Chain A
Amino acid sequence: MPPVPTAAHDSDDVRAAAAGDRHAFQRLYTLHVGRVYGALQRLAGYDHARAEDLTQEAFIRAWQKLPGFRHESAFGTWLYRLAVNVALMDIRARGADPVSVRDNELLPDPGETPFCAAERGELEQAIGQLPPRARAVLVLHDIEGWRHEDIGDELGMAVGTSKAQLHRARSLLRKALGERS
């Protein structure tokens, strides 16, 4: 998983916030909210209201868990991971779209569907229409750069299932973009 760029000087604020300093935590919020919201927005399928709720939930959880932060990783990385977990827990709680062999059989073979150039807005809209679990795998793998092993761990699925979901998500995405072009 690629590291999240963080400011080197936030460690003082992290310690102060862990000790209960609300102003220090606000500075951390200001520094990291863009990164957190960006990831959660993608996982929420560009549903801005949902992404905002998840962002709030992520920062509240971070505040609660800060005393246990061990400084073994950068705070930004820890916060990013925690925020993604919040979004994935939300997806799991909804019990969304378990993949099945039948689903994959109905999809076009990726080799038959051409890759389509798309404007950023079109791409985001197409990602937003993917089933939540397939979207999570596509976002984490193809955009966030996670490995299937990590995705499987976080989503409680086997590596093979994660690969199947990615295959499904890519096929659906290409199909959606192809129909528009």
Chain B
Amino acid sequence: MNEFEWRRQLRELRQPAAPNRDLWPAIDAALDGAAQAATPVQALPSRQRHWLLGAGLAASLLVAGGLGWRLLQAPPGNANTPAISNWKPADPRFAGAAIELDAARMELELAIRQAPDSAGLQRLLRRTEQQQAQLRHLADRAS
């Protein structure tokens, strides 16, 4: 008997077969307690979730550290660094936006000192200052 015949003999085993008993009643009974999965949600694998959480935390720490370092390096009254705005909205809903805009303005003023002829930076600074003015206006109206 050669290998070809041997393999053929094995392949002939690949046939359907009937169970000795009807399995449906047991399956049917088990389905009562087996809820169908809801519409599958593409949840991130656990490892990926952990990675994203870690990356988010690291980014937050980096930004916070950088901002803290920048503030320490810029004592009030130092003529070489832009002044932090003293304006703080009374309404806490505007506080976050005020801080963001103030930080953006500071960054732009520092950048403009490095590149005073940059029209793009000047345009961004004007737009930021306009947004700050709008925010003050909105905060005044809200209070």
Contact = CB atoms under 8 A, between A and B. Distances in A.
A42 B11 CA distance: 12
B19 A55 contact: yes
A143 B14 contact: yes
Contacts of B40: 67-68
Given A38-B15, A60-B31, A124-B13, A29 B36 contact: no
A120 B1 CA distance: 15
Interface residues of B, number: 33
Interface in B19-68: 19-21, 23-24, 26-28, 30-31, 34-40
Question: Is chain B's binding surface mostly helix, strand, loop or mixed?
Answer: loop
Query: For the complex, would chain A's binding face be called helix, strand, loop or mixed by DSSP majority?
Result: helix
Top 10 closest A-B pairs, CB basis? A34-B16, A38-B17, A115-B1, A115-B6, A68-B40, A142-B10, A38-B16, A59-B27, A143-B14, A35-B16
Interface of A: 18, 20, 22, 25-26, 29-30, 33-35, 37-38, 41-42, 48, 51-52, 55-56, 59-60, 63-68, 114-118, 120, 123-124, 127, 138, 142-145
22 contacts: A18-B36, A30-B24, A33-B23, A34-B16, A34-B18, A37-B23, A38-B16, A51-B19, A52-B23, A55-B23, A59-B27, A60-B31, A63-B34, A64-B34, A67-B36, A115-B6, A120-B12, A127-B13, A138-B10, A142-B7, A143-B10, A144-B14
